[in-house]
Amino acid sequence: MKSILKAAAFGIAALGLTVGAASAQGVLQKVKERGQVICGTGLGIAGFGMPDEKGVWKGIDIDYCRAIAAAILNDPMKVKTVSLTAKDRFTALQSGEIDVLIRTTTWTMSRDTSLGLNFAGINYYDGQGFMVRKSMNIKSALELNGASVCTQQGTTTELNLADYFRANKMKYEVVAFVTNDETIKAYEAGRCDVFTTDASGLFAERLKFAKPDDHMILPEIISKEPLAASVRHGDDQWFDLVKWVHYAMLNAEELGVTQANVDQMLKSDNPEIKRLLGTEGKFGEMIGVSNDWVVRIVKNVGNYGEVFERNVGMGSPLKIERGKNNLWTKGGLQYAPPIR
C-alpha cells in the first residue's frame, strides 16, 4: 500500500514539475520556436479572409498575418489560420488559442480594456451601412422604421444597429445569426428587409447575388468601424511587433517601395528608405527580428497599397475605392509614425 501511494505521489509530483517548468515566455519567442504564427481569422469574408478552391486562405487580413510571419520567419506561408465565428473570437484570443486576431474586428474602448485586448494596426477603416432591395424604393436609412434587419450576432454591428434606431426613434425587428453567410442567406430569402454590416462587407456580399443590381447600399454610414488586429494584454514586445508590421507596410507604400522594386530600393540613398529597409540603423532588432524585416515583408507580401488593391481594390472582384484607406498624403486616414 505504502509503495503504491509513494509511486502515485511521485508520479503526480513529477507531472507537477514538468508543468511548472514550462515558464512564461513571450509570444514572439513561442512563435520563433514553433516556426509558425497562429492567426485568428473569420469563416470566410471575400477580400478579407477566405479559402480559394485549393484551400489557400487569401485576403487583406490574411496578408497582414503573412506579413508578420514574413517579418519573423522570412516565410509568409508559415501561418496557421484558426477559423473563428464572431462570437468565439475574443475567447480564443484571451485563452491563448491564437497569437493574434485579425478578423475584421472593430476597435472599441470596452474591448480594448475589459476584454483584455490591445489593438495594433488598423488595416481597414470601415463604417456600418445598410443594404436593401431596390424594389423597396428607399433612399435613406431614416425611412427604415418598422423594418426587419438581419445582422451578425456578437458584433459591434448588432449594438450600433440598436443605437441608430433608438437615436432616430424608429422601431425595428432584429434577426441575428452566427455567421455572415447565414445572415446574408436569410436576407436573400426575404426574411429581412435590410442587411447590415460593415460597408466593405456589403459590397463583398452584393457581388454574390444572382442579380447584384437588384440591391442597393444606402448612403448612410452609421458608425466608425476601425478594423484592427488585436493581441492579448501583457506582452508589449509582441504588441509592438504586430503594430509595426502594419506601419512598415504603410511606410513602404508612402516611400514607393513595392514588391517589384524592393531590391533596387536597397541601393537607394534616401535615408528614410535606408532606415526602412534596414541598410541603416538597427530597427528590426528593436522589435526582436532581423534588421531586413521590412525587405522580407515587402518582398513576400507587398506594401499596404499592393495588398489593398490585390484583395479588395481594383485588382479584385470587389472593386472598393481606397477612400478613407488611402494614405494621409492622398486624403485618406492611413498614417504611419516614422521609423527613426
Site for other proteins in 41-100 (CB under 8 A): 43-46, 50-56, 80-88, 90-92, 94-97
**Among residues 25, 140, 168, 261, the one that binds other proteins under rule CB under 8 A:** 25
> Taking CB under 8 A as the criterion, which residues in 258-277 touch other proteins?
none
Binding mask 219-258 for other proteins (x = CB under 8 A): -------------xxx------------------------
Q: Total binding residues for other proteins by CB under 8 A?
A: 90
Count of CB atoms situated within 10 Å of the CB of 200? 26
| Spatial distance between the Cα atoms of 179 and 154, rounded to a whole number of angstroms | 10
| Spatial distance between the Cα atoms of 22 and 121, rounded to a whole number of angstroms | 31
Q: Judged by CB, which is closer to other proteins: 37, or 250?
A: 37
Place of cell 447590415: 196
Q: Judged by CB, which is closer to other proteins: 110, or 270?
A: 110
At CB < 8 A and 24+ separation, what contacts does 25-29 make?
A: 26/235, 26/237, 26/238, 27/99, 27/231, 27/232, 27/235, 27/237, 27/238, 28/72, 28/237, 28/238, 28/241, 28/288
Instruction: With contacts defined by CB under 8 A, name the span among 141-149, 213-221, 239-247, 295-303 that binds other proteins.
Output: 141-149
- The CB-of-88 to other proteins minimum distance in angstroms stands at 5
- The CB-of-1 to other proteins minimum distance in angstroms stands at 5
> Taking CB under 8 A as the criterion, which residues in 188-207 touch other proteins?
189-191, 193, 207
**Among residues 172, 247, 304, 308, the one that binds other proteins under rule CB under 8 A:** 172
**Among residues 31, 62, 144, 249, the one that binds other proteins under rule CB under 8 A:** 144
- The CB-of-65 to other proteins minimum distance in angstroms stands at 13
**Among residues 6, 139, 208, 282, the one that binds other proteins under rule CB under 8 A:** 208
- The CB-of-190 to other proteins minimum distance in angstroms stands at 5
The one-letter amino acid at 157: T
- The CB-of-201 to other proteins minimum distance in angstroms stands at 11
**Among residues 32, 75, 181, 224, the one that binds other proteins under rule CB under 8 A:** 181
